[in-house]
Amino acid sequence: MNAGPSPFPERRRIRGRAEPSDALFDLTIPRALPSWNTFYAGVNRWRRMEFVNAWYLFTGLYWPDHAPSELHCPVVLDIEVGKPHHLLDCSNVCAKVVEDSLVKRGLLPDDSPEYVREVRLRSVKSEKPYTRVRLYECE
């Protein structure tokens, strides 16, 4: 399914490392995403569902005013998690929750490879916990 030309023709195409100013969408939530270990270890499915719903609400609370209504171009999803005490293993960041929230909020039509070509995860040490979500247009 071809979505037609990019709705953001003035933006540069991203190759390799992208600069934050090139982001089509930039959202910062003042909470750190948990690890998959925390998400699954001894937690029943109802508690996990509460967690997923809470992150959906967080994306709404901190949704930027300048967010596009919907993106049809393939994107790179870049997630950075800052934690004050220790770093998470990058592969252990529970990023699927954020991706699903972007679909549920209507920014992305789907989280299939047709719309989300790549997911980049980063864990950094910071003074306060946060999760930063950026979307970049890709070729």
CATH of the domain at 58: 3.30.1330
* Alpha-carbon torsion angle 95, 100, 106, 108, nearest 10: 60
Domain assignment present for 6: no
Alpha carbons within 13 A on the beta-carbon side of 63 = 16
Domain assignment present for 5: no
C-alpha of 107 from chain center: 11
Q: What is the mean pLDDT of the segment spanning 109-133? A: 92
Amino acid at 56: Y
Whether the pLDDT of residue 25 is over 80: the answer is yes
Domain assignment present for 132: yes
Count of CB atoms within 10 A of residue 101's CB? 23
Please give the pLDDT value at position 21: 66
Question: For residue 14, what pLDDT band results from cuts at 50, 70 and 90?
Answer: very low
**Range(s) of the domain holding residue 88:** 21-137
Domain assignment present for 93: yes
Q: What is the C-alpha R_g of the chain? A: 15
Question: What gap in Å lies between CA 23 and CA 8, rounded to an integer?
Answer: 11
What is the number of structural domains in the chain? 1
Closest CA to 79 of 57, 55, 61: 55
Question: What gap in Å lies between CA 24 and CA 18, rounded to an integer?
Answer: 11
Check if the beta carbon of residue 39 is closer than 8 Å to that of residue 93. Answer: no
Domain assignment present for 98: yes
Express each pLDDT in 63-117 by its tens digit.
Answer: 877 777 777 788 999 999 999 888 878 788 888 899 999 898 888 889 999 999 9
User: Which helix or strand (DSSP H or E) is residue 17 part of?
Assistant: none
Question: For residue 20, what pLDDT band results from cuts at 50, 70 and 90?
Answer: low
Domain assignment present for 72: yes
Full-model pTM: 0.76
Whether the pLDDT of residue 2 is over 80: the answer is no
Question: What gap in Å lies between CA 39 and CA 26, rounded to an integer?
Answer: 25
Domain assignment present for 13: no
Please give the pLDDT value at position 6: 41
Domain assignment present for 81: yes
